[in-house]
Amino acid sequence: MTATKIDGKAYAEGLRTRIANAVRDLSGRGVMPGLAVVIVGEDPASQLYVKNKARQTVEVGMRSFEHVLPASTSEAELLGLVAQLNADPAVDGILVQLPLPKQINAQKVIEAIDPAKDVDGFHPINAGKLMTGVPGLVSCTPLGCLLLIQSVRRDLAGLNAVVVGRSNIVGKPMAQLLIAQSCTVTVAHSKTRDLPGVCREADILVAAVGRPEMVRGGWVKPGAIVIDVGINRVPNPAAGEGKTKVVGDVAYAEAAQVASAITPVPGGVGPMTIACLLRNTLEAACLRRSIPMPQVDFAA
């Protein structure tokens, strides 16, 4: 068996097109969603990511508000900016880029964001809504993973799903999204006994542990759908001294011989995160105004 490659880049492009159509529909009713992105410090990877977010926000017809703060910014100063954005009627979504400098408590900042504008889906209120099955804003990367899974198979009811990783950003919300789809879900982690055996029971296997190619082909159930969330930079001597390459948490070449469908790294889950951020901003704009979402099939 050779797995079908799940093209996250192509799916994200289609999703952004559908979002742009929905934004056009809203603009006809006098609504233009706005996304504010805050970055503290000069981390090159974060700056590039924020630049891409801003570009894609404008491309789908939304307003982009960028706030670039020096690394010396105090916690009080950042919380003050968050309070201003909470009160700004032009801003529907707020995203504070992580990680933050050590003098700032990231959890305190997350909790300061208005849950109605928390398009990252990290606020405890939104996490609680997901846990209890109440509509709310959902963490972008897990939402993107679910959409990619449903691009292969719409009806997930009754399937066994294993999520390797228990972070608040990916693992835990991913498990809740799969439970909502009536999957039987196991959350595995570093203390799980016989992790390879647990993974081999999965019809859906989501790897989000941050360990390069930890999940081997022998861990994959024949015919499983494999979603690789990992982004790990490792040495690449073949390309020259000091060169690196990006790999996932799954040994792709091995797993692709066993799975029915699998996401590559790069080009799999990564492009979906920003697309789902834009989708969340659209949803936040509608929820804040008590208007229905435009009729768009985001899982198409």
Position of tokens 């979906």?
272
Q: Determine whether 97 is an active site residue.
A: yes
Half-sphere exposure of 272 (CA within 13 A, CB side): 28
**Which value, to the nearest 10 degrees, does the dihedral of the CA atoms of residues 298, 208, 101, 108 take?**
70
Buried b (16+ CB within 10 A) or exposed e, 193-211: eebeebbbebbbbbbbbee
Q: What distance in Å separates the CA atoms of residue 169 and residue 171, rounded to the nearest whole number?
A: 7
3-state helix, strand, coil in the chain (%, to 5): 40, 15, 40
Say whether 103 is catalytic.
no
3-state SS, residue 176: helix
Residue 212, Cβ neighbours under 10 Å: how many? 17
Residue tagged active-site, from 56, 92, 97, 221: 97
Check if 120 is active-site. yes
Alpha carbons 229 and 235: distance in angstroms, whole number: 19
- The one catalytic residue in 92, 120, 203, 249 is 120
Residues catalogued as catalytic: 53, 97, 120
